[in-house]
Amino acid sequence: MTKLKLSAAFAVALVALTLPAAAQFVPNSMPTRDAPSTTASAPARNPMEGGAPMFAERNIVENAVNSRDHTTLVAAVKAAGLVDTLSSRGPLTVFAPTNRAFGKLPKGTVESLVQPQNKAQLTAVLTYHVVPGR
């Protein structure tokens, strides 16, 4: 699979999570079973993502490890050696695929990418989906 096809497949299957100054997960604007829709006038405190509260005082990785919907992403971040990078202070925006999104990739894609010999490609794919700012 080419790098372009892989990035396109990732992009199609992504959920945007905005990370404020403390680099926390904030759920996307679409309601889920765990996170009811909120309005700008009534922001949620400790929003829920993957059945776990996302705390402003925690960094991206500390919040992501508690989300049952992002276990594949957490494993990929660890395999790519990006834990320290994503534990840094934000603000950052991460287009973070859920487990369901990873499941929509062609069979064997994730398994191949997390292999040590593919670390550079995995790192490139993951960091492509992290941008500075909100």
CATH fold for the domain made of 3-28+48-132: FAS1 domain (2.30.180)
- Pick the closest to residue 98 from 7, 2, 8, 12 (CA basis): 12
Residue 47: predicted pLDDT: 81
The CA–CA distances, whole Å, from 105 to 30, 56, 57, 64 equal 22, 31, 33, 21
Q: Give the global pTM.
A: 0.65
Residues 123, 82 contacting (CB under 8 angstroms) = yes
> Half-sphere exposure of residue 26, counting CA atoms within 13 Å on the CB side?
19
10 Å Cβ neighbour count for 95? 19
Report residues of the chain scoring pLDDT below 70: 1-44
Residue 33: predicted pLDDT: 42
Residue 77: predicted pLDDT: 95
